[in-house]
Amino acid sequence: MVRSLFIIAVFNAFVFSHCFAQKGETSVYMTSGEVYRGELIAVGSSHVLIKYDEQIFSLDRSKVRYVFAQPKALRLKTNPETFVFKEFDKRFSTELVFGIYTFTPFNFSMAFTEWLKINEVWSAGLGVSLDFLELGMVKYNAHVRYYRPHNKNIRGYVDAQAGMSAGANPLAQNGPSFVEEVSPVFQSSLGAGIFFNTGFGAALTLEMGFSMFRYNLRETSGFGVGEVTSNSKVLNVGTYIQGGFMF
């Protein structure tokens, strides 16, 4: 008998302590049939305190038959606007570039390049560009780029490029008696740049270096009487700067 009373007492203590630890609604069933629902405030040796509708009820613990607790459900708070930084780790990517050259006749360049990631540090690309100012041409380019492996989001790189165009056309005549013909055009460049991952699945590039244009130039002066034609090989070397957007 003593052992049974001890087990019941331990069980009641566990139930009351468990209910007291919960912040949800607690239902207390009395031996008289009454039911009290509310927040369990305190459990004493002889009484139980329960709060309901801003009132506190003191219940005789010896007359309590059952106690049921309804704990509050745990909710994980999520913020749908939380920014998730994305690594730029694409096997195939596209780069759009605008460049400025410090020498004529091709001072501006707009390029489109498709890149293939070979491994973590090497990439190769093929593309096409429009180079223009005094002369204009469509040029096909091949790239090899080496990225320094120290950081995936801000990385230095070295870019080597070679390009070729079948010919260029004058966009502005030097004078009414001059006609220029340029063909073919070979171009090569070597530069260093910075790759910056924006975290939105795209990246920005900034590059500076040296470039060289080599082409055959034919100039004709005069028409009919006194017409003179001259042919020459031209080599232009200078610096460039360009900015790009990769996606």
Q: What are the structural domains, with CATH classification, of the chain?
A: 2-70 (2.30.30.100), 92-246 (2.40.160.20)
Predicted structure pTM score: 0.63
* Confidence at 219, pLDDT banded by 50, 70, 90: confident
55-98 pLDDT, tens per residue? 888 888 888 887 777 655 545 455 556 778 888 989 999 999 99
* Tokens matching residue 134: 């005094």
* Confidence at 175, pLDDT banded by 50, 70, 90: low
Q: Where are the alpha helices (DSSP H) in the chain?
A: 2-21
Helices and strands in the chain, H and E counts: 1, 14
Beta bridge partners of 192: 158, 208
Cα-based distances in Å from 196 to 85, 182, 186, 239? 13, 38, 30, 22
Neighbours of 58 (CB within 10 A): 13
Q: Is the pLDDT of residue 137 over 90?
A: yes
Which of 159, 150, 146 has the alpha carbon at shortest distance from 206?
159
From the centroid of its chain, how far is CA 198? 5
